[in-house]
């Protein structure tokens, strides 16, 4: 299945995409993780993106579109993928549609994870991530089995993202409401949209996500699950 997860910062896109892709064998393509990898590797793209990311603003469309369209063309995406954090603007959504139409593999569905701003701030201020494998935790709601040690890869030392400071989170929310939220209507008109309340425990969100994917599979006539 070829799926987009939409939603504000902290909605749980990464949390849900990691579990879903592990279960289904799909590729998890997080534009934020890919950009952070470019920054860490000191590439030209990373250098251009860093100032926007640090300020909580969107990285320019041309940079992100080229990066993601070439990522989707890689062989690990042939069996299905989940896009997490991309597209985020109308320009990106149209570019994605065109690229997928050229390859004859259009999107099967778009799930919007919906959550209020005050809950976003609570989640993001408590988020910790593993700098080695990217696993996501929360200091209250999703703690690792051993304090400060990643369950998935055993790395010691979970970290807070540089753009998770409160003033930057406010900017990221503004960018989401202005530039990304209009995509909900774009995908509703395309007949691809499912909406799920993300203000429930992680397992409950996952259960509703599975139901939404079931409806999408029915609609597209049985894409592989």
Residue 67 vs 192, nearer CB to ligand AP5: 67
Instruction: Tell me the window of 58-66, 146-154, 187-195, 215-223 that interacts with ligand AP5 (CB under 6 A).
Output: 58-66
Q: How far is the CB of 173 from ligand AP5 (least distance, A)?
A: 9
**77 vs 196: CA distance, rounded Å:** 25
53 binds ligand AP5 (CB under 6 A): yes
Which secondary structure element, helix H or strand E, spans residue 110, and what is its range? strand 109-114
Residue number of the CB closest to ligand AP5 reads: 32
Question: Six-digit token pair at 155?
Answer: 């790395």
Q: Residue 81's beta-bridge partner residues?
A: 2, 27
CA–CA dist 34, 205 (Å, integer):
25
**Residue where the block lists tokens 């991530």:** 129
Task: Please report how close the Cβ of residue 137 comes to ligand AP5 at its closest, in angstroms.
Answer: 6
In the bound state with ligand AP5, the residue whose beta carbon lies nearer, of 90 and 223, is: 90
Q: Coil, strand, or helix at residue 221?
A: coil
- Decide if 8 contacts 176 (C-beta within 8 A): yes
Q: How far apart are the first and last CA of the chain?
A: 7
Cβ closest to ligand AP5, residue 85 vs residue 109: 85
Taking CB under 6 A as the criterion, which residues in 75-94 touch ligand AP5? 85-86, 88, 92
10 binds ligand AP5 (CB under 6 A): yes
CA pair distance 193, 172, nearest whole angstrom:
23
DSSP structure class, residue 58: P
Does the protein bind ligand AP5 through residue 134 (CB under 6 A)?
no
The catalytic residue positions are: 13, 88, 127, 161, 172
Q: How many residues bind ligand AP5 (CB under 6 A)?
A: 38
Which chain residues interact with ligand AP5 by CB under 6 A? 7, 9-15, 31-32, 35, 52-53, 56-59, 64, 85-86, 88, 92, 123-124, 126-127, 136-138, 141-142, 163, 172, 198, 200-202, 205
């Amino acid at each position: 299945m070829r799926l987009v997860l939409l939603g504000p910062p902290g909605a749980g896109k990464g949390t849900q995409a990691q579990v879903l892709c592990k279960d289904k064998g799909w590729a998890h393509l997080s534009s934020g993780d890919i950009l952070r990898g470019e920054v860490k590797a000191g590439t030209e793209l990373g250098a251009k993106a860093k100032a926007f990311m640090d300020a909580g603003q969107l990285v320019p469309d041309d940079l992100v579109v080229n990066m993601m369209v070439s990522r989707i063309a890689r062989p690990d995406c042939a069996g299905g993928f989940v896009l997490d954090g991309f597209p985020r603007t109308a320009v990106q959504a149209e570019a994605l549609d065109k690229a997928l139409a050229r390859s004859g593999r259009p999107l099967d569905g778009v799930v919007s994870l919906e959550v209020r701003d005050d809950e976003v701030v609570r989640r993001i201020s408590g988020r910790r991530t593993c700098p080695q494998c990217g696993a996501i935790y929360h200091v209250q709601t999703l703690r690792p089995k051993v304090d400060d040690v990643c369950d998935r890869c055993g790395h010691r030392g979970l970290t807070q993202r540089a753009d998770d400071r409160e003033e930057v989170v406010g900017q990221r929310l503004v960018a989401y409401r202005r530039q990304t939220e209009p995509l909900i209507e774009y995908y509703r008109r395309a007949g691809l949209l499912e909406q799920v309340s993300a203000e429930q425990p992680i397992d409950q969100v996952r259960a509703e996500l599975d139901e939404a994917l079931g409806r999408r599979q029915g609609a597209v006539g049985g894409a592989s699950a």
